[in-house]
Amino acid sequence: MNHSLAHCGARLRLWSEAYHPVHLYASLLVCVFGSVANSLNIAVLTRREMSSPTNAILTGLAVADLLVMLEYIPFTAQAFLPQEQRLSYGWALFVLFHSHFAQVCHTVAIWLTVILAVWRYLAVVHPQRSREWCGARTTAAAIAAAYLASPLLCVPLYLAFDVSARGLGRATQYRVGLSALAERRVLGELSLRQLNFWVYSVAIKIIPCAALTVLSLRLVCALLETKKRRLQLAGGRNKQLAGKERQTDRTTRMLLAVLLLFLITEFPQGILGLLSVFLGEAFFSSCYVPLGELMDILALVNSAVNFILYCSMSRQFRATFSQVFRPRLLRRPAVPPPSGATNTQVTQV
């Protein structure tokens, strides 16, 4: 029996080979769109009128997603290069850099999403205290921590893979593969290769997904409680409070959509990585590798669609986007607010 086909069979391998040419063009389209979309996100979210802790986190998320998109475009271009160039030492080094850089940026995005969920939960459940707990300095420190800790979390990945050379006649081919350290025991009976899968599947995927699941459920419960409380409100003052709560609800729903997209794309990857630890090389070769490009395109789509979510679910984002990018001749003259109205907002997204 062929052990490389022991778990998922030959059909998945055949499907992977058929999907490969589709993936090349699909990923290029998604990356080009995502690069433009995340650039627009950054341009809008960094406006002074959009200044808030939540939008600072969304800006950090957009930067990480933009880096993933920009770097993935030349990686995809390898399919259109001559075979000799794709097997050169320089290109192998770039592929190695790609695997490290993309994983680090994606890890940053994952943990920023967790921070976003925590900040949103505190804003909904503890609106008064959250202004102190989630202020500008705390938010900046949390974003910096995500960007600084993620490269450290990926250290096992750096050590587990390297460029290897293989002589073929007079020519030498270079490919990215397991390093000489990959099978060395680092923690008891745990090899570096296994440690890398544990870090990838548990610390980078499953733990953040579990945290997002719990926080998302708590946010949904908080939304239902807020809706019930709003129905009990009456009087002019309470109507004003209800309007602020409706704004908070819209923001929370939009961020819940962002969180759910992350769960849909990240949780299956964590499960597959964990199964690769327990079931070994046979599962990794027959299941994980054939699904690699599918997981890539899902992650890319997830990194590209936030702009669509913001435009469809955030009135303030649409208004600011229109103000920044609409030609001056098409802009409507500003209408002064009615007397007694204020511009204070509970949240800004």
Q: For residue 42, name the pLDDT band (cuts at 50, 70, 90).
A: very high
Task: Give the 3-state DSSP-derived string for the chain, with helices as H, strands as E and coil as C.
Answer: CCHHHCCCHHHHHHHHHHHHHHHHHHHHHHHHHHHHHHHHHHHHHCCHHHCCHHHHHHHHHHHHHHHHHHHHHHHHHHHHCCHHHHCCHHHHHHHHHHHHHHHHHHHHHHHHHHHHHHHHHHHHHCHHHHHHHCCHHHHHHHHHHHHHHHHHHCHHHHHHEEEEEEEECCEEEEEEEECCCCCCEEECCEEHHHHHHHHHHHHHHHHHHHHHHHHHHHHHHHHHHHHHHHHCCCCHHHHHHHHHHHHHHHHHHHHHHHHHHHHHHHHHHHHHHHHHHHHCHHHHHHHHCCCHHHHHHHHHHHHHCHHHHHHHHCHHHHHHHHHHHCCHHHCCCCCCCCCCCCCCCCCCC
Asked, for residue 73, whether it belongs to a domain, the answer is yes
The answer, yes or no, to whether residue 324 has pLDDT greater than 70, is yes
What's the mean pLDDT when you consider all of the chain? 82
Asked, for residue 348, whether it belongs to a domain, the answer is no
Which residue type sits at 127? P
Average pLDDT over every residue of 84-99: 87
Tokens of 284: 């990794």
Asked, for residue 331, whether it belongs to a domain, the answer is no
Which residue range is the domain that position 276 belongs to? Answer: 3-324
pLDDT digits (tens, 9 = 90+) for 275-295: 887 888 888 888 888 898 999
Asked, for residue 332, whether it belongs to a domain, the answer is no
| pLDDT for the residue numbered 244 | 56
What CATH number has the domain bearing residue 10?
A: 1.20.1070.10
| pLDDT for the residue numbered 235 | 54
| pLDDT for the residue numbered 101 | 95
Asked, for residue 38, whether it belongs to a domain, the answer is yes
The answer, yes or no, to whether residue 65 has pLDDT greater than 90, is yes
The answer, yes or no, to whether residue 159 has pLDDT greater than 70, is yes
Q: How many domains does the chain have?
A: 1
The answer, yes or no, to whether residue 29 has pLDDT greater than 90, is yes
pLDDT digits (tens, 9 = 90+) for 235-246: 545 555 555 556
Average pLDDT over every residue of 199-203: 88
Task: Indicate the burial class of 56 (C-beta count within 10 angstroms; 0-12, 13-18, 19 or more).
Answer: buried
Asked, for residue 349, whether it belongs to a domain, the answer is no
| pLDDT for the residue numbered 263 | 83
Asked, for residue 46, whether it belongs to a domain, the answer is yes
Asked, for residue 145, whether it belongs to a domain, the answer is yes
